[in-house]
Structure 1
Amino acid sequence: MKFWIGFFTCLVTLSLVWIQGLTSQLGTATPTSRWVFDAYQLKLKAAEQIATPKVLIVAGSNAMFGIDSKQLSAYWQRPTINLAVNAGLGLDYILAQAKKAARRGDIIILPLEYALYLDDGDANSQIIDYVIGRDPLYWNSLTQYQKTQFILGMAPERWIQGLRQPIDSPVNSGTYGTHHLDNVGDQTFSGREHQQEQDRAAIAIAASPKKAWRYGERALQENGAWERLSQFSKWARQNQLCVIAVPTALLFHKSYKDSIVERRFYESIPDRVRSLDIPYVGKPFDFMYPADHFFDTDHHLQDWARTIHTQRLIKQLRQSQPCSFR
C-alpha cells in the first residue's frame, strides 16, 4: 500500500511540475526565433497596408534571397510582397501565413523548396520553438493531438531556455533579420562583397557531391504534402486567388540528372503539382545554378543571380500566362 501511495504521489507531483513547466513555455520566446518573428511582422504588415490586388511570394528562404519583388511588380503591374522566410517552419505554417495576407484577386507565387513537397506535417524543432514562444493564435488553432506532438517534441534545451525566460532582444547583426530586409521583404546585403569567409566555406561544402539532396529517394518512401497542397488550392479557388507554382532556386548537382530516381522526381514535379489544380510554370532543371551563384546555402542566391533567376521566371510567366487577370 505504501508503495502505491508513494507511486501516485510521485506521479501527481511530476504531472504538476510538467504542467507548470509547460505553462511557463507558452508565450516565452527564445532568441533563436526572433529574426523569423521580426521578418514575418514586417512582411505581413506590408501586405496588410496594400488595399489593391497584389502579388505574394510564399515559400522558405530560397525566395527571400532569390526573387526580386520589384521585377515582379513591374511585370504584373501590381504591388508585390515577399512573404518567404524560413522553410524550416514547415509547409503548414508557411501556407497559414499566406492565408493571413491574401485577399480576393491576389496572385500567390509558390517557389516552394522541394523538401516542402515532401513535408509530412510532423512538427520539427523550429516550428515547435516558434509557435510555442511567439504565435498563440496558431497554437490555439492546433488540434489536441497536434499540441501533444509539439509538447512531446520539445527538446530539453528548449525547455531550459523557456524556464530561464531569456531577454527577447531585436536582431540587428548577422545575415538574417529585418535589418537586411527591404520594405517589401526581399533580402539585401547578399552580394559577393557581403560574403564572409564562413559563407564561402558553406557553399564549398554544399557543392560537395556528398551534400546532394536525395529527394527522389525520399519521395519513394514518404507520402509528402500533396493532400495539404490540394486543400490549399481549393481554398484559393474559393477565395478567388490565383496560385502559381514555380521552381525553387537550387545548387545543381550532377547526381540530380545522372540518378534515374532523382531525375524522375524533378521532372515529375510540374505535372504532380498541376494535378492539384495549381499551374506550374517552368522546369526545375532550368532553375538550378552553379555554386558561384549562391551566397551562404545551396538555396540562397547572391543578389546578381537573383536578378537572373527572376528574369527567367518572368519569361516563363509571360509565355504561359497562368492567371486570367493581370
Structure 2
Amino acid sequence: MPEKKYKKYVISILCAFFILYGLSVVWVLTGYFCPKNDTFWVNHLYQKKEAYAQSIHEPKIVIVSGSSGLYGVSAEKIEQHFKIPTVNLSTHAGLRDYYYHRAKKTLRAGDLVILAPEYTQYFFDSSMSDVKSDYILNFDRSCLKNLPVAEQFQILKTYAHPWKIMRDGCLFFMKQKKGTLDTLCSSRVLNRNGDIVGGFGTKKYSIELISLMPGRFDPEKYGMKKFSGFIHWCETEGVQILVTWPGTPPLINTALNEPYSLFTDALMAFLSHSGVEILGQPKDFFMPESYMFDTIYHLNPEGIQFRTAKIIGLLESSPGFRTWRQRVAGEDGHVSQAGVTLVDTDVCYNGEMELAGDNNQVPGWRAFTGGNENPDGIAVPDNAEAHGGKHSLKLTNTSGGQVRWVGEKVALPAGIRKIHTGGWSKVENIEDSATYCINIKTFFKDGSFQWNTGGLFFSKGSHNWEQVQSVINFDKEVVAVQPFLILYSSVSGTAWFDDVFIRVQTAGKAGM
C-alpha cells in the first residue's frame, strides 16, 4: 500500500474513533441532564410512595417489586382488611437490585416486607441496565458516588454506544421532557398507598411467554446474590420478610411447564433452606388471559383485585404474618416506649402443636426426612400422643439418617440478648449414640448465627414425657430465632415432641 494511502487510511480510522468517542461523551453528558420517559415516571412513583411511607410512625407492611406489583396488587385493600398501614413501593423491574437498595430507606425495624420479584430478578448477571443507569445518573447521584468503581464504569458502558444516540434521539428529547413528564404523570393515577388506579387504557396482553423463562437456577448469579443480600439485611435490621410470586399467564400444559417447574422448585428449596417463608405456590398466581393488561407481568383492574384477594388469604394463614401481626397489635404485650415493664413472651409459633393443617401439614413446622431415594424416616403430626392438648410432632428414624422438624423463623424485637427455651419429648428405642435434642438457631444483628443445644438434649433409650430447658445469654443482639427438633440416629427409633417454647423478655405496659 502506498505510504500516502496508508496514512490517509490510518487518519480516517482515528477520526472515526474520535468522532464515535465524542458522540458517546455527548450521550453521557446529555443523559446526565436528561432522563428518559421511564426514569421520569419512576422518580414520580418514588416521590408519591415514599411520601406516604414517611408519614407512617408505626409498624407497616411494604410491598417491594417491579411493575408486577405496581400493576398487580392493591396495598389499599390490604390496609383496609388488616387495619395496618400498607405501602406499595413497587416501581420498575428494569431497576434490578436498585429497588432493594431503595426499599431500605423506607423500611424500619418492626416492619414487614412482602417481596415479590419478577422472575428476571433471579437470573440477571449484570449490575446495570438502561433504566437503572439512567435513574441513578439523574435522580440518585449519592448512590452513584457510593458505587464501586467497576459499577460506575458499567454505567458509562451502558450509555456509551453510538447506536443508542441515534435510537433515543436524546437531544430532541431534551426539548420535550417537560411536556412528556406532565403527560406521563397525569395519565397514570396513584392512590395514597402507591397503587396505580388509572391509565390502563385499552391495551391488550399479547406477549410471548418465552420471555418469562429464566432458565437454570443459579444461586451465584448477580441477581440472586443481591436478592439474598436483601433478605440478610432484613434479618439483621429486624424487618420481617415474606416472599411471594408475580402474577403471570398460566404456564401449565405448555412447552414451558418443565423448565418453569424446575426453576421454581429449585428457588423454593433455596428459600426454605434460608428460613424464608413463601406465600403460596407459583401456580397460585397463574392468571387467565382476561386478567392480563399489556405485559406478562401486568394485570388489569380485575386481575389486581383477584391477586390481592389471593395474597390476603395467604397472609391470613401465614405463620410468620400472624406472629408479626400479634406483635404489631400488642397482643403479646410489646410496647416500644418509656414507662414499661418486662414480660416473658413466647415467640415460638405453634409450639404447642395444636394448630392443624391439611395433608399432614403443621402450621409453623416443616418436616425434613429425605427424598424418595433416601427415605431417612417419617415426620408426621400425631393426635394419639401429646404432652398437653391433643397433638404432638412425631419423628421416626427408619434408616439411620437425619430426620427433623424445622420451626418457623421468627424476627425478634430490638435489643434481645437472652432467650429461655425448651420443650417436652418422649421416645422409644433410641440408642446412646443418637443426637436427640432441641436445637435453636439464633441469628445476630451482625449477620452471623449460632446453633444452641446446651441443656436441650433428652435422655436416650425409651421414656415417657421429659422436659428440657435452658436460659441462653448472648454477648450481641439476637434478631431472629428458629427451632429445630432433631433425631439423628444410626439405627431406627421414634420420638414425639410437644410444648416447645422460646421466651424472650419484651416490653409490656406498666401494671400489666
Task: Give the AA of the match of 1:124.
Answer: S
- Specify the alignment match of 1:211 in structure 2: 209
Cα 1:138–1:258 change in 2 (3 A) is closer
Cα 1:293–1:17 change in 2 (3 A) is closer
Contact 2:109 2:239 in 1 (8 A): yes
- The structure carrying a bigger strand percent of its residues is 2
Contact 2:219 2:225 in 1 (8 A): no
Residue of structure 2 aligned with 1:67, choices 53, 68, 73: 73
- Specify the alignment match of 1:325 in structure 2: 324
Contact 1:71 1:310 in 2 (8 A): yes
What's the TM-score, normalizing by structure 2?
0.54
Task: Give the AA of the match of 1:70.
Answer: E
CA RMSD between the two structures: 3.1
- The structure carrying a bigger helix percent of its residues is 1
Residue of structure 2 aligned with 1:277, choices 258, 275, 296: 275
Separation (CA, whole Å) in 2 of partners of 1:51 and 1:313: 24
Task: Give the AA of the match of 1:43.
Answer: K
CA deviation after TM superposition for structure 1 residue 125, in Å: 1.5
CA deviation after TM superposition for structure 1 residue 83, in Å: 0.6
Task: Give the AA of the match of 1:82.
Answer: N
Cα 1:306–1:167 change in 2 (3 A) is same
The answer as to 2:111 corresponding to 1:110 is no
- Specify the alignment match of 1:182 in structure 2: 191
Separation (CA, whole Å) in 2 of partners of 1:276 and 1:148: 33
SS at match of 1:81: strand
CA deviation after TM superposition for structure 1 residue 258, in Å: 6.1
Cα 1:16–1:255 change in 2 (3 A) is same
The answer as to 2:105 corresponding to 1:100 is yes
Q: Percent identity?
A: 22
- Specify the alignment match of 2:388 in structure 1: none
* Most deviating of 306-315 and 144-153: 306-315
CA deviation after TM superposition for structure 1 residue 213, in Å: 3.7
Cα 1:280–1:13 change in 2 (3 A) is same
* Equivalent residue runs for 1:35-46 within 5 Å: 35-46=41-52
Cα 1:257–1:315 change in 2 (3 A) is farther
Cα 1:16–1:171 change in 2 (3 A) is closer
* Most deviating of 94-103 and 304-313: 304-313
What's the TM-score, normalizing by structure 1?
0.82
Cα 1:18–1:124 change in 2 (3 A) is closer
Structure 2, unmatched stretches of 5+, are 1-6, 326-512
CA deviation after TM superposition for structure 1 residue 16, in Å: 8.7
Separation (CA, whole Å) in 1 of partners of 2:25 and 2:42: 27
| Count of residues in correspondence between the two structures | 308
Deviations 1:93-129 (A, max 9, x none): 0101110111111111111111111122431222122
Task: Give the AA of the match of 1:145.
Answer: A
Deviations 1:213-234 (A, max 9, x none): 4625243698352222222122
* Equivalent residue runs for 1:1-326 within 5 Å: 22-23=28-29, 25-90=31-96, 92-154=97-159, 155-156=161-162, 165-169=174-178, 171-173=181-183, 179-189=188-198, 195-196=201-202, 199-200=203-204, 203=205, 205-206=206-207, 210-213=208-211, 215-219=213-217, 223=221, 225-254=223-252, 259-323=257-321, 324-326=323-325
Cα 1:322–1:143 change in 2 (3 A) is same
* Most deviating of 249-258 and 110-119: 249-258
Structure with the larger RCO, 1 or 2 (CA within 8 Å, 6+ apart): 1
Separation (CA, whole Å) in 2 of partners of 1:237 and 1:271: 19
